[in-house]
Copies of this chain bind each other. A is one copy, B any other.
Amino acid sequence: MSVTAPKGFRAAGVAAGLKSSGAPDVALVVNDGPDATAAGVFTANRVKAAPVLWSQQVLRAGIVRAVVLNSGGANACTGPLGFQDTHATAEHAAATLSAANPRLLVGAGDVAVCSTGLIGERLPMEKLLPGVRSAVRGLSRDGGPAAAEAIMTTDTRPKTTVVAGAGWSVGGMAKGAGMLAPALATMLCVLTTDAVAGSEALDAALREACRLTFDRVDSDGCMSTNDTVLLLASGASGIEPTQQELTAAVTAAAHDLAQQLVADAEGATKQIAVEVVGAASEADAVEAGRSVARNNLVKTALFGNDPNWGRILAAVGTTAAAFEPDAIDVAVNGVWVCRGGAAAEDRAKVDLSGRDVAIRVNLHAGDAAATIWTNDLSHAYVHENSAYST
């Protein structure tokens, strides 16, 4: 049911012609309330797309009544005119929603905008604005799946989730299959809940959820210009969970979507969990895990079903994490191929025939741990990304 699983939300997904394929490319999520509290987390990239700059301003007030999302163009690196396009999109959505339902009283400043697709080209506004009108007409309580489909780019399948609370729930949708990297996997994500929650509670829940899920997905080390994760609360359940309950549910929803992103990453043949244990701090574990996850030689080796643990050690060695090189253990799919920084169990025992790969690195420097999720580097990744814009 995606973003419309919680009470108080309607959504739609329509084809506006932004994609040459004719596939759906404009999504709309509307919060009918009674509340309209919201929180957002955005890309750490300093080159931010126009919709990110816009939505950051919208979120400052902690109120979001609608989100317009389009695939088929990122509206990034498009200058002041690109920002005007985003502004016009929000204006148009607000006016159309208000006309359709005067009780809503939506202003442009209550409308977040998300875009995804090729960087550096203006959006065809003559197609996008009619698409927004069409989406408003198509809004429904079961429009969540259609919205999730309309935000896909190179994704092969839509990503949706529902997490049940006690009388309330969290719903969500996400897209993203490449440019998946730290400080948000390159992605758009809208989470909804019918819980009663202030924008500060939502912000705390969302930041913790992102820190533990999307921020630890590193498919190809490339950080996007458009990453946006929004959390909208309608309060329609009338139930106010504790901060802990809210954070747990939002984190579970984000985790589910993050795993779907890794599962569908561009050209991937492996879904790899790099778990670093025995670290002196969680930050050390994240740094070491990320270094392994980003290493092209580790990723190509796993594509070739080769448990090349020397490359894993070489990747850990580039970090500032606390460890002694001759105290590191490495297991690949449960086989401890490296102990004390040198060869241990026979690498031939490692079974890499399946899609899931579990790498475990023990730094023997403390009690902290973290897991980073990534993919292999395959011919299909090279193919897909060498042909994307042409």
Partner-B contacts on A (CB < 8 A) = 44-48, 74, 76-82, 118-122, 178-179, 220-225, 294-297, 300-301, 303-306, 308-311, 313-319, 323, 325-326, 328, 338, 340-343, 377-379, 381-383, 385-390
Q: Is B306 in contact with A48, judged by CB distance below 8 angstroms?
A: no
Looking at A81, A301, A342, A379, which has the most chain B CB atoms within 10 Å of its CB?
A: A342
Residues of B within 8 A of A74 (CB): 310
Q: List 8 A-B contacts (CB under 8 A).
A: A45-B317, A46-B318, A46-B325, A78-B342, A304-B390, A306-B387, A308-B388, A378-B382
Q: Is A343 in contact with B78, judged by CB distance below 8 angstroms?
A: yes
Q: Other than the known A120-B309, A221-B295, A221-B296, what 10 A-B pairs have Cβ atoms closer than 8 Å?
A: A74-B310, A77-B343, A122-B343, A222-B295, A296-B296, A296-B385, A304-B390, A308-B389, A379-B382, A381-B382
Residues of B within 8 A of A343 (CB): 77-78, 120-122
A325's nearest neighbour on chain B, judged by CB, is B47
Q: Is A306 in contact with B47, judged by CB distance below 8 angstroms?
A: no
Q: Is A297 in contact with B77, judged by CB distance below 8 angstroms?
A: no
Q: Is B223 in contact with A300, judged by CB distance below 8 angstroms?
A: no
Residues of B within 8 A of A383 (CB): 379
Looking at A225, A300, A342, which has the most chain B CB atoms within 10 Å of its CB?
A: A300
Per the bound structure, the CA–CA distance linking A323 and B385 in Å amounts to 27
Residues of B within 8 A of A305 (CB): 390
Q: Is A313 in contact with B119, judged by CB distance below 8 angstroms?
A: yes
Q: Nearest Cβ in chain B — how far from A195, in angstroms? A: 35
Q: Is A77 in contact with B310, judged by CB distance below 8 angstroms?
A: yes
Q: Nearest Cβ in chain B — how far from A386, in angstroms? A: 3
Q: Nearest Cβ in chain B — how far from A380, in angstroms? A: 9
This chain: copies in complex: 2
Q: Is A179 in contact with B389, judged by CB distance below 8 angstroms?
A: no
Q: Nearest Cβ in chain B — how far from A162, in angstroms? A: 32
Residues of B within 8 A of A316 (CB): 47
Residues of B within 8 A of A122 (CB): 343
Q: Is A386 in contact with B303, judged by CB distance below 8 angstroms?
A: yes
Q: Nearest Cβ in chain B — how far from A179, in angstroms? A: 6
Query: 3 closest A-B pairs (Cβ-Cβ)?
Result: A119-B310, A304-B386, A47-B317
Q: Is B314 in contact with A45, judged by CB distance below 8 angstroms?
A: yes
Residues of B within 8 A of A78 (CB): 342-343
Q: Is B120 in contact with A317, judged by CB distance below 8 angstroms?
A: no
Residues of B within 8 A of A224 (CB): 314
Q: Tell me whether A301 and B389 are in contact in the complex, defined as CB-CB below 8 angstroms, given that A77-B341, A223-B318, A338-B120 are known contacts.
A: yes
A81's nearest neighbour on chain B, judged by CB, is B342
Residues of B within 8 A of A317 (CB): 45-48, 223, 225
Residues of B within 8 A of A326 (CB): 79-80
Residues of B within 8 A of A377 (CB): 296, 382
Residues of B within 8 A of A306 (CB): 386-390
Looking at A47, A121, A340, which has the most chain B CB atoms within 10 Å of its CB?
A: A47
Per the bound structure, the CA–CA distance linking A379 and B44 in Å amounts to 30
Per the bound structure, the CA–CA distance linking A214 and B225 in Å amounts to 31
